[in-house]
Structure 1
Amino acid sequence: MEYYEKENSVVLKNVKNFNIEEILECGQCFRFEKIENLKYKIVAYGKVLYITQTEDSVEFTPCNKEDFENIWYDYFDLDTDYNNIIEEISKNDPIMKSATEYADGIRLLNQEPYECLLSFIISQNNNIPRIKKIIKAMAETYGKSLGDEYAFPRLEEIENVTVEDLMELRMGFRAKYIFDCISKLKNGEVDLSKADTLNTDDLRKELISIKGVGQKVADCVLLFSLKRRETFPTDVWIKRVMEHLYFNDEEKDIKEIHAYAQEKWGEYCGYAQQYLFYYARSLKIGTDKEKKK
């Protein structure tokens, strides 16, 4: 991969395993908007970024070399060899081989942990349009203006909000979970800045200490913002997909699915989960509307 500055942009050339639609539309983030085919706007790390992809390049605007190297290079996980990962998880696995061939441009994002945590609490029992609407309302109400968008509010900007304030953003039952999360972050019971000092199990336990955070939400935060690639977030949808693809439609509990995934994909579980999620959702695998490849 190579990159260079051009006016108000940074252009990537010869980047492999990068498809902006597959990256943003695979359930790992919420603050994005599709402008047209392979052109998206995202809001992350207090910045608005437009990504335009063509057959042989990816352009980030507005962006300079400093921001690209300090923010977006890591955000889009550009230091990782996805071709090698695809080879590893597809060995002797025709199902995974099909999934990775279907969407070989997926990359795991490295999001800001605090924003990722609050966003996935909001995502519980919710649909994507409503999740995005609530997060946008939270940013517009408490965050810093970025022109036509607003940054996700920093902890100090929402540390005094009440459950009632959060209910006004139409969070519903999630308001009390967000309130508890803010309280625990504020008093240090949950300290994301020390995440690197904890192993994955202990970090998961700390996240689950927040009211309303179960293993699925904790695993999403671990995978999408804390680089714990061995996690395998499993909701009802992924459970059904795994049962259909790997267990002949036999019902399994979450622990059995996690054990199977860990044995099969090990340190690459998180990558496998994203390929399966996008593949199964796109083709409606395991549903009555399953499409032919």
Structure 2
Amino acid sequence: MEKKISKNKNWIENFDPLEILSCGQAFHWDMEEDGSFTTVHKDQWANVKKEGKNISWIFSEKDQKEEWFSYFDLQTDYKGIIERIDTIPLMKEATEYGKGIRILKQDPFETIMTFIISANNHIPRITKAVKDLSRIYGKEIGEYNGRALYSFPNPEEFSKASQEELRNIIKVGYRDKVLIETGKRILSGEFDLAKAGSLSTEDLRKELLDLPGVGPKVADCILLFAYQRMEVFPVDVWIHRVMEEYIFGEKGSKKEIHRKSVELFGKEAGYAQQYLFYYGRAKGIGKKEKKPH
């Protein structure tokens, strides 16, 4: 292990592990009793804690700082992004509330599989499924606070899972079949993870939509969180309502809301979506009210 402390860096104001890891973009992490967070990326793990203007890090191995700083996107000027988008209605409140959010640079295979699991699902259930998949099919990569940590299974490791195990042990429900089929396509190279990154956003979206279990919202999440296509704007039911009621002031289909949101935010659409999602969910904005009996 290696310990590091980041002091008084210009990015610390816009860095909060709680906001980054709990805003719905990642599911492979734990909050510790001391308020720190332990997260897994590929075959490495890190523990991070924010204390005032300092960030304390524990890395699973030496010389991992640059990789983890890249994973947390510390080179990007989020303060500048916020200044450019907070003139739009609701954005000032959203960026102030979630100003510590950063968009992680995640592993493509893990992102594809976890966001297939995420469709019509709840974060606690998704998180448990990801941890169970890692524990059963991944590799043990170390321990922290007496708890074993596991990497998410790679395509070859994932191929050992059966449809019955995914449904009955991992509890992914109806997603079992599409997870198996998508895993096979990636393992065979039919969907090439390495070449995918060189495709244009539209071409990559088409390739992703061809994968079993990947719809428009999941495809955009993969584009944003695995391939850093910041011009995309994932639209789920929650964001749909927020945009209708507080940004555009009129109803529209998911496709229309997506198009108008991308036009509004341009190359920073993905950042805006994360601020709005985190703020809207926390404040109950856009929550559908139950009709009185």
**Above 0.5 in TM-score?**
yes
1:79 alignment partner AA? Q
- Mapped to 1, the partners of 2:118 and 2:49 lie a distance apart of 27
The count of residues paired between Structure 1 and Structure 2 equals 280
- Residue matched to 1:3: none
1:116 to 111, 116, 131: 111
- Residue matched to 2:4: 10
- Residue matched to 2:280: 280
State the Cα RMSD in Å. 1.7
1:9 alignment partner AA? K
Query: Per the alignment, in what secondary structure is the counterpart of residue 173 of structure 1?
Result: helix
Q: Which moved more, 1:162-171 or 1:227-236?
A: 162-171
- Residue matched to 1:73: 69
- Mapped to 2, the partners of 1:50 and 1:141 lie a distance apart of 22
* 1:125-178 Cα distance to aligned partner (Å, 9 max, x none): 111111111111111111111231211111111224332232232111111111
- Mapped to 2, the partners of 1:186 and 1:233 lie a distance apart of 26
Matches within 5 A, 1:34-183: 34-36=31-33, 38-62=35-59, 66-69=63-66, 71-91=67-87, 93-146=88-141, 147=143, 148-168=148-168, 169-183=170-184
1:12 alignment partner AA? S
Distance 1:145 1:153, change over 3 A: same
* 1:102-145 Cα distance to aligned partner (Å, 9 max, x none): 22111000001111110101111111111111111111111111
1:287 alignment partner AA? K
2:16 to 6, 15, 19: 19
2:257 alignment partner AA? I
Q: Indicate if the aligned counterparts of 1:39 and 1:52 stay in contact, CA closer than 8 A.
A: yes
Q: Indicate if the aligned counterparts of 1:9 and 1:64 stay in contact, CA closer than 8 A.
A: no
Distance 1:189 1:16, change over 3 A: same
Matches within 5 A, 1:206-225: 206-225=207-226
Deviation, 1:235, is 0.7
Distance 1:288 1:138, change over 3 A: closer
Q: Indicate if the aligned counterparts of 2:2 and 2:61 stay in contact, CA closer than 8 A.
A: yes
Instruction: Normalising by structure 1, report the TM-score.
Output: 0.91
Q: Indicate if the aligned counterparts of 1:10 and 1:64 stay in contact, CA closer than 8 A.
A: no
* Structure 1 gaps, min length 5: 1-6
- Mapped to 1, the partners of 2:238 and 2:13 lie a distance apart of 29
- Residue matched to 1:32: 29
* 1:183-237 Cα distance to aligned partner (Å, 9 max, x none): 1102222111012321001101111111121011111011011010001011111
Deviation, 1:63, is 5.1
Instruction: Normalising by structure 2, report the TM-score.
Output: 0.91
- Mapped to 2, the partners of 1:36 and 1:160 lie a distance apart of 35
1:252 alignment partner AA? G
- Mapped to 2, the partners of 1:230 and 1:164 lie a distance apart of 38
Q: Which moved more, 1:201-210 or 1:95-104?
A: 95-104
* Structure 2 gaps, min length 5: none
Q: Which moved more, 1:93-102 or 1:226-235?
A: 93-102
2:266 alignment partner AA? G
